[in-house]
A and B are shown apart, each in its own frame.
Chain A
Amino acid sequence: MLTKKLQPLQNFLSLISRRGSHLARQQYDVIVVGGGHAGTEAAAAATRVGAETLLVSQKIQTIGALSCNPSLGGVGKGQLVKEVDALDGLCGRAGDWAGIHFSILNRRKGPAVWGPRAQLDRQRYREFIQSELLSTPRLTVLEGSVEELLVSEPNPEEPGHHRVTGIRLANGSHLISASSVVLTTGTFLSGSLFLGQSMSPGGRIGDAPSSAGLSQTLRERLGLRIGRLRTGTPPRIVKDSVDLSLAHVHPPDSHPTPFSFLNTHTRCKPEEQLPCYLTYTTPGVERVVRESLHLNCHIQQDTKGPRYCPSIESRVLRFPGRQHQVWLEPEGVTSDLLYPQGLSMTMPPDVQLRLIREIPAMHRAEIHTPGYGVQYDFVCPTQLSPALQVKSTQGLFLAGQINGTTGYEEAAAQGLWAGANAARWALSMPPVALSRTESYIGVLIDDLVSRGVTEPYRMFTSRAEFRTSLRPDNADLRLTLKGFEEVGCVSTLRYQEAVRVRDSLQDALAALQALSLSTHNWRKKLPDMCMSEAKSTLLTGMDVLQYNDVSFEMLASAFPECLLPHMEFSQRLKIEAVYRPHCNLQKKEIERIQKEENMSLPQDIDYFSLPVSLSQEVREILDRVRPSTLGAATRLQGITPAAIVHLLNYVRHTGQKERRTHRNQPHQKKAREEELCGRNAALPQ
C-alpha cells in the first residue's frame, strides 16, 4: 500500500511571497485569480495538466484560508472531497493534514450516503495548501489585485464573441498575458459586508474590497448576466468564556478515516482529536432576533440567501417556537476560539452578544469577532459550458461562488475542473466534461450550467440520480483512471495506485464469484449466518456477501487460501457486493444519458437560420440556453420531441464531418502522455 508520508511543515509564507515579488515573466498559459478553495485547486490542476500558471491573490497570507466554518466534508460534500482527491486535487490531503476531529456521518445509513467529515485546524489547513502550491512546479504566486480582464477579438475558428488575453493589475498598468484566465473571486465580486445597520464594500472582514473594474468588465464588456446572492458567518466565541459543561460533548470517531485515497492515516492521532459540543437555542434567542430586526439591514434585503445554512434570524423567523441546534466547533489545536455553527447573524455587535448569552452554555461568553453578512455578484452559470468556460468568451473560466454555489467542497470541485480545462484550452487540447452519471462533480456542473441557480447551490446526495453508483468508496475507480488517461490532471504515481486497486478488486471479485456452493454447504461453512434452506440454487461468494450478517472477514476465515490475500479491500468488497445488483440495474439508464451527453451541439449554431423545421419558440429557447449536448437539450423546458429529432439529425450530419477532422487526435494524446510520464517521474516523491 502506498502511503504518502506526512512531513512536518514550516511556514512557507515568506518563500512564496518572495517568489511573487519578482515576477519572472509577463506571459503565462493560465492565470488564476483568487486563492480560496476554487483558486488553489484551479492553479494546482492547471499545473498538473502541464500549463505554466500564475496564481494572483490579494493577500498571499490568506491563500488557503477557511473563511467560514472550520470543517470539510459531510453528507454529499464528503463525496465531492473524495472526488477532488481522486482527481489528484489538494483538499482531501489538506483535510487529512489539518483535521482535528474526524467522523463518518450517516454511518448507519448505507455506504452510498456515508459522509466523511472533519473539523479542521485553520492554520494547519492554510499551511498545507501554501506549502503544496510552493512545491508545485510551473506555478507562480503573485500578490496583487486584478483591475481589469483583457479581452480581444475572438479566434474565428472557435465559438465566442471575445477572447481573453490576460489581466491588468491594480498597481499601475502592469499587464500580464495568458491564454486562459480562471476567475475564482468568491464573495469579492462587488461584495458588500453587512453588520447591523452599517454596510461597507468587501468580500471578507479584514480584507480589502476587490476592484470594481473586474465586475464592470464582466457586465459591460462581456455582456454577462449577473445576479446577486447573500451569505453570512457567525461570530467567533472566546473558548474560555464558554461553560462547556452545559453542552453535550460530541466525540469524533475513535479511528479517524482519511479523506485521501493516498493516505492510510491522518496526521492527527486518534487520541489527539478534539470534541465538538452541541447546544440549543432558547426562546430568549428568538426574542432578541425579533427585537433587533429594525437594526438589521442584511436580513431586510431581498437578495436571495440559501434555505439551508440560513442565518439564525431566518431560522427563528421561518420556524418560530422551536429549539434550534447550535454546534460549538474547535477552530484548531492552539486556537482559543470556538465556531458556533448555526448562529450566523448580521445584527449589531452588542445585540449579537445579547443573543448568544441567551444560550445557557454561553451565558458569560465573549465575542472575539462579530458575525456579519455578505452580498456579492455571481455570474448566472447557464452562460458556462460544461468545462466551466464562459461560452461567449474564449479562454475565460469561472469557478466557485462566482457561479452561485456555496461551500468549500463545491468550490474546490469546480476549481479543479475549471483549472484543468483552462490548462487544456491554453495547451490547445479539447475540453473535457464529467457526466452526472459518473460523479457528483458532474452533477454539480450539469445542474449549474443547464439549470442555473436561484439560491446558493449546495450539494446534497439527493441531487444525484445514481447515488448508489457514485459512492465515496469508489471515487478513485470512477475518476482517477479517467483523470489520468483523458484529462491529464492526475500524477503517474496516483494513477499506478488506482490501477493496482482496480486490478486487485477485480481479482477479489472473481475469487468471490468463483466460490459457488449450495445453501446447505454455505450454512455448514458459516454457521452464524441466517439463510433460509429453501433456496435451491447455488450461491456464489458475491451473493452471500450481500447478506447483512456476513462480512468479508467471515468469508476469508472460511476460505483462507483464496480470500485472505484480498483482506486489504474487505470493506470495499462488502460494499461492492451489496450495491452491485442495484448498480447493474441502473446501467442502462446511465448508458442512455451518457450517449446523449456524448452528442455535442456546436456552440456557434445559429438556431434561427438552422435549415430544419423548428418552431420559433423552440428556436428561441435553444438560442437563449445554447445547450452544449443533446442530453442538456432534453432537460430544457419547452423543447419538443420533434425538435430533438431534428437536432439528432443535425448532430449526426455535423458529427460525421467532425469525425473526419478529429482523426489525428489519438496521436497528440499519446505524445502528451509520454511527456507527462517523463515529468512526473522527475518529481520528488
Chain B
Amino acid sequence: MLPSIHRGIWRAADHILRTSRGTPPCRFLSTFNGVPVGIADAETIFALSSGHGRCGVAVVRASGPASATALRCMTGLTRKLPPPRTALLRSITDPQSKEVLDRGLVFWFPAPHSFTGEDSVEFHIHGGPAVITAVLQALGSVPGMRPAEAGEFTRRAFQAGKLGLTEVEGLRDLIHAETEAQRRQALRQMSGELGRLYQDWTHKLKRCLAHVEAFIDFSEDELIEDGVLNQVDRSVCDLQAEMERHLKDERRGERLRSGVQVVIAGATNAGKSSLLNTLCQRPAAIVSPIAGTTRDVVETALDIGGFPVLLSDTAGLRESPDLVEREGVRRARERVEQADLTLVVVDCTDLPSEAQQAAAFLQDHLGRVLPNKEQPETVFPADRLLLVLNKTDMLPEERRLKLDRELRLVSGLPPVCLISCHTNEGLQDFLTVLHSSVKTLCGDPLSSAPTLTQARHRAHLQQCFAALAQYQRYRDIDLALAAEGVRLALTSLGRITGRVGAEEILDIIFKDFCIGK
C-alpha cells in the first residue's frame, strides 16, 4: 500500500510542474519526469549516472523490468544472467547492428536488492562522449526502454521504500535541485532553433485539437463545416511528415551546447570582459573604459581543470536609452537565468569602506543582478554563484586585506574572490575556487547532459508521431478515438514544451468559431 501512495505523490509533483501555467519559467518545468500516460510503471529507464566531462569510467544505469533484456541483448548473454551484484567483463554491442561499442564491466542487480528496488543493470564503460552516446542510443533501441527523467532513479528508490521517511527533508532539497536544473536546461533548449520548432508544432497541434473538439462539441448545432476536419487532416499529415524528417535527420537540427554554463554578469564597467579575457588568456572580448562596451553575449569554450566550460560575457546591467544596449541587457538577464554558475563581477572601488555596509551593498547588488526567484531560500544558491571583486589594484593594500578578512566573516554571501584583472593579483585563488565549483557541477549529472535531453526529446517526439497515426486510423471510424490521438500527441509534445490544458483549447475554439447554442 505505501509504495503505491508514494508513486502517486511523485506523479503529483510532476503534475504540478505540468500544470503550473501562467508564469513562463514554470511552464518549462513541464519536462520534469514526463512519463507517457498509461504505460507508466512498466517502463524501464536508463541514464548516465556518472557526471559528464572528462572521466575515465562512465556508469550507465538502467532500472525496470526490461533491464535483464537489455543486459542480455547488449552483452550476448543469451543463456543466463551473470551472478547478482558481481562484476563481469563483456563486450557491449548494439542490439540491432551487433557492432561492438565498448568493452566494460556489467553488473546485474535483480529486484529487490538494487538501488531502486527494481531489476537494475549497470554498465561501466569508457568515459569518452562517443562511447557514452553510442551505449545510450543502443539502450534506447531496446523495446520498453526510455531515457530517465532527472531524479527518476531516486524517485523510484523512494517509491520502493529504499529511502526512509526521515530522508524526506533531504529529498525536498533534491527535488528543488532537480527542478532548478530542469528549468535551466529547458530554458536553454527552448531558446534555440529547436525550441522554436517544437513550439511551432505545439501551436499547430493545439489548433488541430481545438478544431476537432469544436467539431465534436458543437458541429451539430453550429455552423462548423466538415471542411474544418479536412484542414485538420492536412495539418496532421504535414506535421507527421515534418516530424518524420526531423526524427530521421542525423544532424538532429541544432547542435546542443555542452559543458557547464558559466555566465559573467554585473554592472557596467565592472571589468566583466577583462575577466573573460583573463580566463581565456586571449582578447576574446573588446575591453574599454567606456561603460556599455559589451552589448551582445560573447561566448568562449574553455577547459577549466579538465572540465568543459562554456563561458559567456554579457552586457553590463543598467537602464539604457539605447535600443541595442537594452537588447543586450535583456540577453544578459536571459543568460543569467540559464546559467549553471554565475560570476557576479563588482568594481571593488564602489564598495563602502565599512565591512558591514559593504556586505549590505553586495547583498543588494546581487538582488539586482540575479533574476527574481520564486523560492526565497534559493535567491542566493551558494554553489551557483561566485562574487568577484575586481580592480583590487585600485585599492590600498591595507584596505584590500581588511575587506578580504571581513567579508569572509559575513554570512549570507556567496564565496567572495578579490582579484585584479589588470595585475592578475588573486587570480590563482579565484581559479581554485572556480575549479572546485565547476567540478561539483560536473559531478552532478543533473547540471547539463545534452545527449540525454536529446534522447528524451526524441522519445517524446516518437510518441507524438505515433499518436498522430492514431488520429488517421480512427478519423473516419470514431472521431472520439481520433481526437484522443491528437490529445495524446499534444500531451507528448507538451512534455517538451509545456502542458496544454483544456481551457487553452476552449479559448481557441471560442476565438475561431461563433458558438451560439
Decide: B179 and A587 in contact? CB cutoff 8 A. Answer: no
Q: Which of B150-194 contact A (CB under 8 A)?
A: 165, 168-169, 171-172, 175-176, 179
Decide: B11 and A582 in contact? CB cutoff 8 A. Answer: no
- Most chain B Cβ neighbours within 10 Å, of A309, A633, A637: A637
Residues in B whose Cβ lies below 8 Å from that of A631: 12
Q: Count of A-B contacts with CB under 8 A? A: 192
Q: Which of B235-243, B322-330, B509-517 contacts A (4 or more CB under 8 A)?
A: B509-517
Q: Which of B13-21, B65-73, B96-104, B121-129 contacts A (4 or more CB under 8 A)?
A: B13-21
Residues in B whose Cβ lies below 8 Å from that of A463: 502, 506
Q: Which of A176-184, A216-224, A320-328, A346-354 contacts B (4 or more CB under 8 A)?
A: A320-328
Asked if A515 is an interface residue, CB under 8 A from chain B, the answer is no
Decide: A595 and B8 in contact? CB cutoff 8 A. Answer: yes
Decide: B220 and A637 in contact? CB cutoff 8 A. Answer: no
Across the interface, A638 reaches (CB within 8 A) one of B7, B13, B20, B517, namely B20
Decide: A637 and B40 in contact? CB cutoff 8 A. Answer: no
| Given A110-B479, A646-B172: A634 touches B217 (CB 8 Å cut-off) | no
- Most chain A Cβ neighbours within 10 Å, of B14, B165, B510, B516: B516
Across the interface, A113 reaches (CB within 8 A) one of B20, B216, B376, namely B216
Decide: A109 and B216 in contact? CB cutoff 8 A. Answer: yes
Decide: A648 and B9 in contact? CB cutoff 8 A. Answer: yes
Interface residues on chain A, size class = 35 or more
Residues in A whose Cβ lies below 8 Å from that of B505: 462
Asked if A502 is an interface residue, CB under 8 A from chain B, the answer is no
Asked if B429 is an interface residue, CB under 8 A from chain A, the answer is no
Decide: A645 and B220 in contact? CB cutoff 8 A. Answer: no
Asked if B291 is an interface residue, CB under 8 A from chain A, the answer is no
Q: List the A residue with the shortest CB-CB distance to B503.
A: A451
Residues in A whose Cβ lies below 8 Å from that of B484: 467-468, 582
User: A417: shortest Cβ distance to chain B, in Å?
Assistant: 21
Residues in A whose Cβ lies below 8 Å from that of B39: 585, 588
Contact with A along B15-40 (1 / 0, CB 8 A): 11101111100000000100001111
Asked if A404 is an interface residue, CB under 8 A from chain B, the answer is no
User: B498: shortest Cβ distance to chain A, in Å?
Assistant: 13
Decide: A641 and B17 in contact? CB cutoff 8 A. Answer: yes
Q: Which of B467-517 contact A (CB under 8 A)?
A: 474, 477-482, 484, 502, 505-506, 509-510, 514-517
Across the interface, A586 reaches (CB within 8 A) one of B37, B477, B516, namely B37
Q: Which of A644-669 contact B (CB under 8 A)?
A: 644-646, 648-649, 652
Asked if A75 is an interface residue, CB under 8 A from chain B, the answer is yes
Decide: B220 and A75 in contact? CB cutoff 8 A. Answer: yes
Decide: B478 and A110 in contact? CB cutoff 8 A. Answer: yes
CA distance A327 to B221 in the complex (A): 9
Q: List the B residue with the shortest CB-CB distance to A467.
A: B480
Q: List the A residue with the shortest CB-CB distance to B172.
A: A642
CA distance A110 to B213 in the complex (A): 13
Decide: B216 and A75 in contact? CB cutoff 8 A. Answer: yes
CA distance A323 to B7 in the complex (A): 53
User: B74: shortest Cβ distance to chain A, in Å?
Assistant: 28
CA distance A616 to B376 in the complex (A): 9
Residues in A whose Cβ lies below 8 Å from that of B81: none
User: B8: shortest Cβ distance to chain A, in Å?
Assistant: 4
Q: Which of A450-465 contact B (CB under 8 A)?
A: 460-463, 465
Decide: A645 and B7 in contact? CB cutoff 8 A. Answer: no
Decide: B19 and A342 in contact? CB cutoff 8 A. Answer: no
Asked if A589 is an interface residue, CB under 8 A from chain B, the answer is yes
Decide: B169 and A115 in contact? CB cutoff 8 A. Answer: no
Task: Give 8 new A-B contacts, CB below 8 A, not counting A309-B516, A634-B12.
Answer: A322-B223, A465-B502, A579-B481, A588-B41, A640-B175, A640-B176, A645-B175, A652-B165
The 7 closest A-B pairs by CB, nearest first: A641-B13, A110-B480, A110-B478, A585-B38, A112-B480, A109-B479, A595-B8
- B residues with CB within 8 A of A: 4-9, 11-17, 19-23, 32, 37-41, 165, 168-169, 171-172, 175-176, 179, 213, 215-223, 374-377, 474, 477-482, 484, 502, 505-506, 509-510, 514-517
27 A/B residue pairs, CB under 8 Å, sorted by A: A76-B217, A110-B474, A110-B477, A110-B480, A110-B482, A111-B480, A113-B217, A113-B480, A115-B220, A308-B510, A308-B515, A322-B223, A323-B223, A460-B213, A461-B216, A463-B506, A586-B37, A586-B38, A588-B38, A599-B8, A634-B12, A635-B15, A637-B19, A640-B176, A640-B179, A649-B168, A652-B5
